[in-house]
Amino acid sequence: MDKYIESVYQSILDKDPLQKEFHQAALEVLETLEPVIEKYPVFKEHKILERIVEPERIIQFRVPWKDRNGEIQINRGYRVQYNSAIGPYKGGFRFHPTVYLGLLKFLGFEQTFKNSLTTLPMGGGKGGSDFDPKGKTDGEVENFCHSFMGEMYRHIGQFTDVPAGDIGVGGREIGYLYAAYRKITNLHGTGVLTGKGYGWGGSLVRPEATGYGNVYFAQEMLKTKGESFKGKKVLISGSGNVAQYAAEKAMQLGAKVASFSDSTGAVHAPDGITKEMWDYVMELKNVKRGRISEFAEKYNLEYVKGGRVWQFGGDIALPCATQNELDKKDAEKLISSGVIAVGEGANMPTTPEAVTLLIEKGVLFSPGKASNAGGVATSGLEMSQNSGRLFWSREEVDKQLHGIMVNIHQNAYETAKEFGAPGNYVLGANIAGFMKVAKAMVAMGHLA
Ligand code: NDP
Ligand code: 2IT
């Protein structure tokens, strides 16, 4: 690695030695930026790298709430407002027991480049809490959300910072959060959150957007090799929002969706799931909030407790659960089963060693910041509709989402070629996402 870039990376390690996911995300970006720093010395003169790794603002607060027994519980709330050079901070809230500052810094950092790739005017941010919605009653989740928003409301707004969902934050949580925001501020400020329900400011296709977008991106990658989803065995990990809609779109394109998983295990459906089975998973996960093992039981499918879906082998892999869920061993298994494409639906699900191996072996590989950008892009479309006080049809939103994904693919593909690494979507997406933010920061001087 270039000495200057290495020194920036070293400063991150020195300042925050325990934030390992953030180190990983920063290194993955920094190590691909060498040709840009060489070609545009202005970025070094303006200390863009030193500035871009440092969040503009971090908010951390106490979230006290009462559980079903009337007992007081305490969680931590956060918002990392990473970069607002090209628009208001934008990015989801994650509610999961593993949430801490290092995790949210990784996600906010990624979000900055992802949002830039969408071409919409959105900066990067991320927030959340170590609160675990699993096993909680609706009432407990509601109490928690009200307390969380009791502090968060003063830091957000349509021109400041626009949060949305992520792991553990879906339509239910956004509803409770939005109610608290309205109560406190007396504003029907629809533009303050995205992922709202249809009828109270939400956009059609936002729930589907990340999963659909990931499949649209993979479709573009496959086209470069004269391939398509038709008849392919597709492995999907996770069974939450992104996994559900990636599965639906892959099925619509004629693929056999052969797996789902959750944090307790993996299910194999070697012949592909049917629409009825997909409906069952939707009800199981979104209404009953049950475990994926119940799906395996119901349809008499193989279930591997504590296992990962990659062991089942397939043509296309779409990791849609969480970070670092596909490692080098998993990549080896996928390669030996003849995988042709891996499209990240989650954020950073593939470990660096696995990414290197997949690219080396000529597997089409898309980094999450490019291929899962459909979610935040459609959040951007929700913001546009809120500003215009109107609603677009399903066809209109889906058409725009599709166009954005095709464009991100094209941009990453062309940028990789321009910088001497044809077919390397990691390098292409990092450089393309970085350039727009970096140029904006240079234009605005050292305060940006
Ligand atoms: P959900 O909460 O709807 O689903 C998450 C899924 O991943 C669940 O199946 C969950 O299983 C599993 N999972 C979560 N944590 C772990 C873990 N530590 N180990 C194993 N499995 C785990 O979240 P989303 O579908 O919204 O998010 C999935 C991924 O996609 C995340 O990386 C998120 O950052 C990313 N993403 C989401 C976007 C969105 O619009 N929602 C946009 C772009 C990216 P369990 O129920 O057992 O916890
Ligand atoms: O990681 C992500 O891009 C998201 N969780 C979606 C963020 C958003 O603002 O829609």
Q: Rounded to the nearest whole angstrom, what is the distance from the C-alpha of residue 240 to the centroid of ligand 1?
A: 6
Distance of CA 213 to the CA centre of its chain: 11
How far, in Å, is the centroid of ligand 1 from the Cα of 331? Answer: 20
Q: Which of 105, 126, 256, 369 is an active site residue?
A: 126
Calculate how far, in angstroms, residue 344's C-alpha sits from the geometric centre of ligand 2.
Answer: 14
Residue 213 domain flag: yes
The secondary structure of residue 317, as a DSSP letter, is E
DSSP state of 419: T
Q: Of 371, 392, 415, which residue constitutes the final position of a domain?
A: 371
> Which CB contacts under 8 angstroms, 24+ apart, belong to 258-261?
258/233, 258/234, 258/312, 258/314, 259/235, 259/309, 259/312, 259/314, 260/236, 260/292, 260/295, 260/309, 261/237, 261/292, 261/307, 261/308, 261/309, 261/321
User: Is the domain of 267 the same as that of 151?
Assistant: no
Helices (H) and strands (E) in the chain, counts: 18, 13
Q: What is the CATH number of the domain that holds 112?
A: 3.40.50.10860
The answer to whether residues 73 and 126 belong to one domain is yes
In whole angstroms, give the CA distance from residue 285 to residue 343.
23
Q: Which of 371, 387, 413 is the last residue of a domain?
A: 371
Can you give the pLDDT of all 448 residues of the chain as single tens digits?
899 999 999 999 999 999 999 999 999 999 999 999 999 999 999 999 999 999 999 999 999 999 999 999 999 999 999 999 999 999 999 999 999 999 999 999 999 999 999 999 999 999 999 999 999 999 999 999 999 999 999 999 999 999 999 999 999 999 999 999 999 999 988 899 999 999 999 999 999 999 999 999 999 999 999 999 999 999 999 999 999 999 999 999 999 999 999 999 999 999 999 999 999 999 999 999 999 999 999 999 999 999 999 999 999 999 999 999 999 999 999 999 999 999 999 999 999 999 999 999 999 999 999 999 999 999 999 999 999 999 999 999 999 999 999 999 999 999 999 999 999 999 999 999 999 999 999 999 999 9
Domain that holds residue 116: 56-188
**Is residue 218 one of the residues assigned to a domain?**
yes
Structural tokens at position 365: 């590989």
**Per the confidence metrics, is the pTM higher than 0.95?**
yes
Report the relative pairing of strands 233-237 and 265-268 from DSSP bridges. Answer: unpaired
178, part of any domain:
yes
- Domain termination residue (choose one: 124, 158, 188): 188
Q: Ligand 1 in contact with 167 (CB < 6 A)? A: yes
**Cβ(111) – ligand 1 distance below 6 Å:** no
Q: For CA atoms 142, 248, 353, 420, give the dihedral sign.
A: negative
Q: Are residues 219 and 356 in the same domain?
A: yes
Would 67 be classed as within a structural domain?
yes
- Reported as a single tens digit per residue, the pLDDT across 250-267 is 999 999 999 999 999 999
Ligand 1 within 6 A of CB of 210: yes
pLDDT of residue 164: 98
Whether 156 maps to a domain, the answer reads yes
- Amino acid 189: pLDDT: 82
What's the token pair of residue 162? 């626009």
Cβ-Cβ contacts under 8 Å for 238 (sequence gap 6 or more): 260, 261, 262, 319, 320, 321, 322, 345, 346
49 lines ligand 1 (CB under 6 A): no
In a domain, 425, yes or no: no
Per-residue pLDDT at 303: 98
Q: Which residues contact 147 (CB under 8 A, 6 or more apart)?
A: 63, 64, 65
Cβ neighbours around 410 below 10 Å, total: 13
In this predicted structure, what is the pLDDT of residue 190?
86
**What's the rounded Cα separation, in Å, for the pair 18 and 409?**
34
CB under 8 A, 24+ apart: contacts of 322-326:
322/167, 322/238, 322/346, 322/349, 323/21, 323/103, 323/106, 323/347, 323/348, 323/349, 324/21, 324/24, 324/348, 324/349, 324/350, 324/351, 325/237, 325/349, 326/237, 326/350, 326/351, 326/354
